[in-house]
Structure 1
């Protein structure tokens, strides 16, 4: 990286030795304006010569060539103006934002400004080769370590990340088989292992890898054809298995439906039997209560007759019977009956009157 301070020092030396002629400029308006322009030119020249601007996305590392504390300074300069003495000090700038290393064979990618290197050529665990396009996202965490252990400028790419990238990918992705590359979960897991392996080697040098992204992978045409044929066969096997499982599940569903219907029918029969039993119990209860009521009514009527008979057997009952018999005799025009002797008729003797008219057989009491 060409440094601004070196260019300024060379320009100053050339002007000092008069190898560069400074044209005389006539400025109208008097000597004061002329001196003002000269002073402004000197200020601009001194600014460009003595100050280096570190941008917000950069780190600054100062190297002292002459004087005290010579060597690489541990202080990391951030965004802003920094004083650099020409010939004695030099400022190196390193990127602070995320960097991208593209391992690909395509001339143009999504990150056109990224550093590009050849595609990663990896041998799988079953002996085949695959070309893998990989994007490695990383950043400089400690510019002092990067500067002292790797070097200035773009050496963090040439001597840092690039030599370590493909070996780490071969060590991790090489454990996959040709079919495993189509398994996104396994592929991502091995990419994370590659990131961890790179961090193990690069963290002590001040670089941290954020992500390792496997974007594309390509086999040779023959291998790709074999893989596709095998995938088709596997899909056919899976289809047959799925169809068999679907038939089994359908049979199980039918069985469950039939069992459900049987259970429903049994429950319905039990419900109908329960209803019939409850109706029979209701009828039995009604008949029982009705019979009990009839019995009570008949007992009451019998009790009424008994009480009436008992009442008739009390005092004055004979006279009442005689009066009743007299009422009976009222319908007769004339009956001549003996009034004395053995065949005499006493109208008040009911038993004798009943025998007389053959209502009660003789001798019956």
Structure 2
């Protein structure tokens, strides 16, 4: 209903007294254009009365009030125009896109169009309380179940997701201790458990929770101060432990480096000893082979002398000696030698000839 304007009659009377002319509006084309306007108005009125437009991000659920198949229809209507008979049928629309439930005390959040509720107040396993800002992302996957089990409109929020959100968070995040909230992997794991718990309760009603995101958490100032002090002490302990481990590893590294140097020195000494041994073996081998070769040469020379002596002792050796002595005497012009008596010279007597020419002293063998 619109409120009436009390100044309307007074303004009309004032215009009447002053005789202000009110111009008449004439419609061009006469009655035909008037009928056209009436026809358009009737079409627009019938369109708004008989058709309901379901948007692309919506589901349509039709309820038949009068007729053969009365009640909620199982057919889900998608985007487009749908015929709805007034008084007999009614079309309800539910959101099709992702919905966001914000549990926070901040007036403005990242999703301004999201449904907001109070922050989740959770008691930790060690007895402290923490306020947790949570974003729950969910969607309607079966609008017929949502409509029949929860209701039309925004009842899927009021009677569906909101009553189940905080109890699920308390059951899962409440298993954490005060310090566990700072453990990101563990906190995410508990948030996923909360999502699974919500899906176990809401999937039968046509709602699916996609993500449970823990965005902020706040303790009381006293607890926060104690946690920060304990964290600083823990960090100091961890720093000392890390320094001790670093010193130990450095000592171990020095030990390994020293052992490596000793091993290298030992291997080098062994290498040098091996080289010396191989050189000595080479020299020994060379001297041995030289001695063996000299021995073979001397034996061959001795064998040559023996064979030569054996050859000289054979048949014709005396004649051969005589021929040699004749060659010796060839260099003498004239030598008078006695041929008989004690000093007689026998050319074939070699020993006597050598004594005669003082080549071999008397009595020498």
Superposition TM-score, scaled by structure 2 size: 0.87
The yes-or-no answer on 1:98 pairing with 2:98 is: yes
Range that drifts further, 331-340 or 287-296: 331-340
Q: Which residue of 1 aligns with 2:207?
A: 207
Q: What is the CA distance between 1:318 and its match in structure 2?
A: 2.4
Partner Cα separation in structure 2 for residue 129 and residue 300 of structure 1: 115
Partner Cα separation in structure 2 for residue 145 and residue 25 of structure 1: 56
The yes-or-no answer on 1:258 pairing with 2:258 is: yes
Q: How many corresponding residue pairs?
A: 342
Three-state SS of the structure 2 residue aligned to 1:199 is helix
Partner Cα separation in structure 2 for residue 293 and residue 54 of structure 1: 118
Aligned CA distance change for structure 1 residues 119 and 249 (closer, same or farther; 3 Å): same
Q: Which residue of 2 aligns with 1:146?
A: 146
Q: What is the CA distance between 1:201 and its match in structure 2?
A: 1.4
Q: Which residue of 1 aligns with 2:276?
A: 276
Q: Which residue of 2 aligns with 1:16?
A: none
Three-state SS of the structure 1 residue aligned to 2:195 is helix
Partner Cα separation in structure 2 for residue 126 and residue 105 of structure 1: 24
Q: What is the CA distance between 1:26 and its match in structure 2?
A: 5.2
Q: Which residue of 2 aligns with 1:325?
A: 325
Partner Cα separation in structure 1 for residue 198 and residue 356 of structure 2: 148
Partner Cα separation in structure 2 for residue 329 and residue 206 of structure 1: 149
Three-state SS of the structure 1 residue aligned to 2:217 is strand
Q: What is the CA distance between 1:32 and its match in structure 2?
A: 4.1
Q: Which residue of 1 aligns with 2:354?
A: 354
The yes-or-no answer on 1:80 pairing with 2:80 is: yes
- For structure 1, list consecutive stretches of 5 or more residues without a partner in the other structure: 1-6, 8-23
Q: Which residue of 2 aligns with 1:221?
A: 221
Partner Cα separation in structure 2 for residue 344 and residue 326 of structure 1: 17
Which runs of structure 2 are paired with 1:1-365 in the superposition (5 Å)?
27-329=27-329, 336-356=336-356, 359=360, 361=362
Three-state SS of the structure 2 residue aligned to 1:134 is strand
Partner Cα separation in structure 2 for residue 346 and residue 200 of structure 1: 148
Three-state SS of the structure 1 residue aligned to 2:146 is helix
Root mean square deviation, CA, Å? 2.2
Aligned CA distance change for structure 1 residues 28 and 357 (closer, same or farther; 3 Å): closer
- For structure 2, list consecutive stretches of 5 or more residues without a partner in the other structure: 2-23
